[in-house]
Structure 1
């Protein structure tokens, strides 16, 4: 059995399904290129049948990466599989990933199918998928709660029909490490044609055992691990890619398994994800958290000074946390910025996009003495990847006040409903606070009245002059959207985030009218 593990990243599919992690097309493509630089073997780019937006994102990613395998997810339905193939067929190495539930609970209550019907659907789905490509993955949803004998029959059928990868998911994070390893061993021993496929695992983290279950399955003979950056995903998330990879690298003596991931790209990849989705990395997060390599205890500090390995089992440099961060400033030139962008992994920006970022950095440097890498990343995301939509903020002025003089906002927006002739719209309005005044005034300008479901502020860097990043979640007519914005002025960042969310609502409204909205 090979000691090489295939790393399958599903950040752009399962990860993006987690609350607050929605990404637009340009952000997805940017992250896909970072995953390619990271060295993952397979990117699950999305669920093409879910919506027109998902289809377009998967299609764009398929044409934007090079030799990496691009997978599209599909239920065991003819329409899903055909849609997935249409989205990924432009990739150099496309994969159709089709699935059906196999646990008694799911078959009875979700699918309302008998076991024999599930077997028939498995056969039809895999045969259809293999008519498009020989690279077909089959997943038995809720495998860890399935009856082993029936699961073995389904797996045998899928392999016989041409599936080359078999995924055994712990869909609800229910299994325990020894138990899950035992299931993998059982299938390898009881499925007659098991040797014709690579066995994969996809573990959720509901009981905090996602990585532990994945590692146990790899020791038992699974050879593909399905993971997400920082463990994002449905409910409590998925097995974290950076934790799994560093466990294999640090405990090579125990696992004796290898993968193709460049570990020095782990921290940059997780940091980029954090910037894109507007959610900070928990300081106590293993491998990539701020405190992962911090030592405050005197005993620990003494040991570290004497020999680093007394309290560190890996180095910060090994996960990409080394390097000088203070590089850019008001006197930095465009060439220096171009070099910094490439160092941060922004390899495909056009000359005009670099100019946009350069201008933004000059403006920021007038108010902020130190420009850190995180500032540069935030400005790229703000100026390049989020400045798309019908409305954009042109100018903003806000006055605070008390009960005798309520807070007032003056907002000037560009309305690009007609892209060739944008219209400037301006209005003043009141609110219970300065940010509420901004939001209510924007609502009046755009003639919408969404409900503000969530408002969150993060500091991109430390210090009183840090860039602020705001995330808002809006709901209107049963549709939700997440918007993000960053600026050194938190009220301006809030306005950008709110307008970004409104633009996404407009896009979803259009999809709903066209019949392509999937919720």
Structure 2
């Protein structure tokens, strides 16, 4: 029983839509395959991507985008539809006449299977060294019935006439190496046997060879099935295509179901050798396949994608400038937050993983929650962990060390983590790293009441048994009253602790002491961390100074000031 309210979704049995019919391929081979080499990549940013923009790119912006695509490493770039508008034509001519096309790059031009458009397309290619002429016509039952009102033989006739004309016109461009690409548009919705029939009719006219292949591009113009069915379509086509060795099977997946990347990956497993797509997935409706994601997916599996995304942020900046489209913060690999952990457990695991990675002699990347080393694509480690109310002690400790060089003792992680969690709860927003350090300063480094150090000196005394004792002389202000202190101990810190206790200025025990240096040369500072047992409990003090002895004495007073505040 199906019901539907006006403007709403059907409930119960859905009769408005029907599931896509699977391909009969019981002996499919693609599920056991793996991707071991990169496909041939073709960027369609300047055509599919451009036509999907609310404000299409200007010629200057298209030139900047073309140069970016070349720099990334694309060897095939669809530059436009030169017969569709004067702007598209002029851009193609400018690329050729101003020598923007490297010798190892082939431009691709799109054209419908219409006589006047094909003539105009060939005119735009004069002087090009290499070009792919990409001809297409719609083939699906839906398009045949609703758009064209034509039967299958008529649709085959459109394709064949266009390809025959292109073959005749090749002689008019003797200086240009022409490759033919044919697309049965809406392949994903076309009966698989008819898609094969029309492609083979095109192949019969073109007569490709293993040395001079034709490109058969099989577009998922609209995603209508799960990726496994798309893979079945591609494998069935590849297995049934006559003279398979004379053709390059190409994928062109859109993202209507949000599975464009998966469809392309499975399509490659199924036998395709080439992929058309765009940077960051820009394209009509929900976009084309995202080549950045697809390529970096391969990279994380140990496959060289033959594209260079070493400076992903620079690529993103040019892309956003030319397209006026933002890259979402959760976009795979490129998004601002994709390498960022807010969760406390994630932060702790990443922190431990990064430490283990630094200590490892292996080149193998093995860090929890980070499938890719951010530095491989020019991302900084600074943004891996960010702090909000969901964050934990491990993330706070990681940032304190990675950004400020402060190696907090492990027992101190919990204490300072609570300070930051309270701050985040009060704020109700993310805590920036600069605010993290400010909080550390306020909690540990800048407290001067009730205890404040005015001066400190220590000297070594030689005992009768030849052992040594350290004597300290200190001047400490407690609640604005100055106290001269003197005591002996087994070290400067021990002597100072004894002096405070013996003069009844404080009652506490020293539990642990840690120190390290920050910086180099004249800029070096010592950092000391002192854990104390006081009447109010166990807590830490911390201090920084150019002198390690003074830093440790200040750290003792830091802990006492924090204890007094707690009381």
- Identify whether the pair has TM-score above 0.5, normalized to the shorter chain: yes
In the alignment, what sits opposite 1:203?
A: 253
CA offsets, 1:301-322, max 9 Å, x none? 2222211411111122222335
Distance 2:311 2:101 in 1: 17
Distance 1:100 1:47 in 2: 14
Distance 1:210 1:189 in 2: 23
In the alignment, what sits opposite 1:56?
A: 90
Could you say what secondary structure the match of 1:110 adopts? helix
Name the CA shift for 1:230/1:4 in 2 (closer, same or farther; >3 Å). Answer: closer
- Please list, as runs of the form range in 1=range in 2, the aligned pairs for 1:322-401 lying within 5 A after superposition: none
In the alignment, what sits opposite 1:312?
A: 370
267-276 vs 32-41, greater mean Cα deviation: 267-276
CA contact (8 A) 1:5 1:258 kept: no
Distance 2:85 2:285 in 1: 21
CA contact (8 A) 2:130 2:178 kept: no
Q: Among residues 290, 302, 318, which one is paired with 1:272 in the alignment? A: 318
Task: Measure how far apart 1:80 and its partner are.
Answer: 1.7
Name the CA shift for 1:322/1:64 in 2 (closer, same or farther; >3 Å). Answer: farther
Q: Among residues 149, 153, 163, which one is paired with 1:112 in the alignment? A: 149
Distance 2:82 2:146 in 1: 25
TM-score (norm 2): 0.54
- Please list, as runs of the form range in 1=range in 2, the aligned pairs for 1:2-81 lying within 5 A after superposition: 3-62=37-96, 63-66=99-102, 67-81=104-118
In the alignment, what sits opposite 1:244?
A: 294
CA contact (8 A) 1:45 1:71 kept: yes
CA offsets, 1:44-69, max 9 Å, x none? 11111111011111222344121211
**Is 1:178 equivalent to 2:228 in the alignment?**
yes
Task: Measure how far apart 1:109 and its partner are.
Answer: 2.1
CA contact (8 A) 2:131 2:178 kept: no
Task: Measure how far apart 1:265 and its partner are.
Answer: 4.6
In the alignment, what sits opposite 2:121?
A: 84
Task: Measure how far apart 1:270 and its partner are.
Answer: 2.8
Q: Relative contact order (alpha carbons < 8 A, sep ≥ 6): 1 or 2 greater?
A: 1
CA contact (8 A) 1:10 1:226 kept: yes
Task: Measure how far apart 1:227 and its partner are.
Answer: 0.6
In the alignment, what sits opposite 1:296?
A: 342
CA contact (8 A) 1:72 1:87 kept: no
Could you say what secondary structure the match of 1:321 adopts? coil
Task: Measure how far apart 1:230 and its partner are.
Answer: 1.1
TM-score (norm 1): 0.59
Distance 1:231 1:68 in 2: 22
Name the CA shift for 1:303/1:45 in 2 (closer, same or farther; >3 Å). Answer: same
Distance 2:66 2:285 in 1: 23
CA offsets, 1:143-200, max 9 Å, x none? 0110111111111122222261000001012132110110111111112122211000
CA contact (8 A) 2:331 2:338 kept: yes
Distance 1:298 1:323 in 2: 17
Q: Among residues 236, 239, 242, which one is paired with 1:189 in the alignment? A: 239
Q: Is there any run of 5+ residues in structure 2 with no aligned partner, and where? A: 1-34, 171-176, 209-213, 355-366, 383-567
CA contact (8 A) 1:245 1:263 kept: no
32-41 vs 3-12, greater mean Cα deviation: 3-12
Could you say what secondary structure the match of 1:90 adopts? coil
**Is 1:151 equivalent to 2:187 in the alignment?**
no
Could you say what secondary structure the match of 1:161 adopts? helix
Distance 1:264 1:50 in 2: 35
Task: Measure how far apart 1:40 and its partner are.
Answer: 1.1
CA contact (8 A) 1:6 1:259 kept: no
Distance 2:73 2:184 in 1: 27
CA contact (8 A) 1:187 1:194 kept: no
Task: Measure how far apart 1:128 and its partner are.
Answer: 2.3
Q: Is there any run of 5+ residues in structure 1 with no aligned partner, and where? A: 325-519
CA offsets, 1:308-339, max 9 Å, x none? 41111112222233599xxxxxxxxxxxxxxx
Distance 1:4 1:312 in 2: 23
Q: Which aligned runs of 4 or more in structure 1 are off by greater than 4 angstroms?
A: none
- Please list, as runs of the form range in 1=range in 2, the aligned pairs for 1:417-456 lying within 5 A after superposition: none
CA contact (8 A) 1:38 1:266 kept: no
CA contact (8 A) 2:41 2:276 kept: yes
Alpha-carbon RMSD across the aligned residues, in angstroms, is 2.1
Task: Measure how far apart 1:79 and its partner are.
Answer: 1.7
Distance 1:58 1:152 in 2: 32
In the alignment, what sits opposite 1:409?
A: none
Name the CA shift for 1:2/1:79 in 2 (closer, same or farther; >3 Å). Answer: farther
- Please list, as runs of the form range in 1=range in 2, the aligned pairs for 1:475-494 lying within 5 A after superposition: none
In the alignment, what sits opposite 2:542?
A: none
In the alignment, what sits opposite 2:140?
A: 103
In the alignment, what sits opposite 1:262?
A: 308
**Is 1:233 equivalent to 2:277 in the alignment?**
no
Task: Measure how far apart 1:222 and its partner are.
Answer: 0.3
Task: Measure how far apart 1:119 and its partner are.
Answer: 1.3
Distance 1:261 1:127 in 2: 35
Name the CA shift for 1:123/1:36 in 2 (closer, same or farther; >3 Å). Answer: same
Task: Measure how far apart 1:238 and its partner are.
Answer: 0.7
Could you say what secondary structure the match of 1:217 adopts? helix
Distance 2:189 2:163 in 1: 22
Distance 1:19 1:186 in 2: 35
Name the CA shift for 1:91/1:186 in 2 (closer, same or farther; >3 Å). Answer: same
